[in-house]
Amino acid sequence: MRALILGGTGEANRLADAAARLRLDAIYSYAGRTESPAPQSLPTRIGGFGGTDGLADYIRTERITHLVDATHPFAAEIRRNAVAACAATGAALIALERPPWRRSPADNWIEVEDVAAAAAALPDQHARVFLAIGRQHLAPFAAKPQHAYTLRLADAPDEALPLREASIIVSRGPFALAGDLDLIRSRGIEWIVARNAGGSGAFAKIEAARQLCLPVVMIGRPALPERRATESIDDVLAFLGHDACLGA
């Protein structure tokens, strides 16, 4: 068994730690979009594969038998490539997925399918908007230049943003409720745009919006090909042929 973990998430990091403790033959892969990725306890590669064919070639060259897709829920391209590459090579595939956030009666969500729909859902009149969607998905919001946008990014942008009025906060999660309440209040945020990434690391802004009765434009997850998936690291370790229950 030789595994490739497509990572970049907290769940992937915890899986890598467990795999290292079990001395599994595994490689951890970063997409390379973060300037200073967290060090891993497994051998690590950084950078893209060059599409489905490139990933399939890597699987063959490295003799990968098992692939674990533990990428971000919105990393649709690599997730689709993983399905196709495993089908082409015969490698076994499992996705490690965090559950999405669920709307509560106290939430004021406007649920949309994609980023373009999120931009369209914002009001026509001027508003102060917290865009919590990353730097690669900002272009549609240029169609609403009347808004004052606040962005929170893991790394400082290395090129001009497509937004006329944007304030940038460089910070990495996990984020705490008190901090996000302070951010929203101090900047007079009136709308929040978020992707339904799930998990606890970025949920503080959703809880803050709930407490402050603010509208949240919630972008749903992209549709993906059918594949084996689990929310449990123990399930992934069993898939890799090892008992879990590693203890603390």
Mean pLDDT of the chain: 92
- Residues 213-223 have a mean pLDDT of 96
Domains of the chain and CATH, by start: 3-99+223-239 (3.40.50.720), 108-219 (3.40.50.720)
Per residue in 231-242, pLDDT tens? 999 999 999 997
CA distances from 48 to 7, 30, 41, 107, 245 (A): 12, 8, 20, 37, 33
Range 72-98 average pLDDT: 96
Is residue 116 predicted with pLDDT exceeding 70? Answer: yes
36 band by pLDDT with thresholds 50, 70 and 90 = low
Q: In whole angstroms, give the CA distance from residue 218 to residue 241.
A: 38
CA 34 centroid distance within chain: 12
Q: Where are the alpha helices (DSSP H) in 161-216?
A: 177-186, 204-212
- pLDDT given for residue 110 in this prediction: 98
With a cut of 50, say whether residue 213 has pLDDT above it: yes
Tens-place pLDDT, residues 168-180 = 999 887 899 999 9
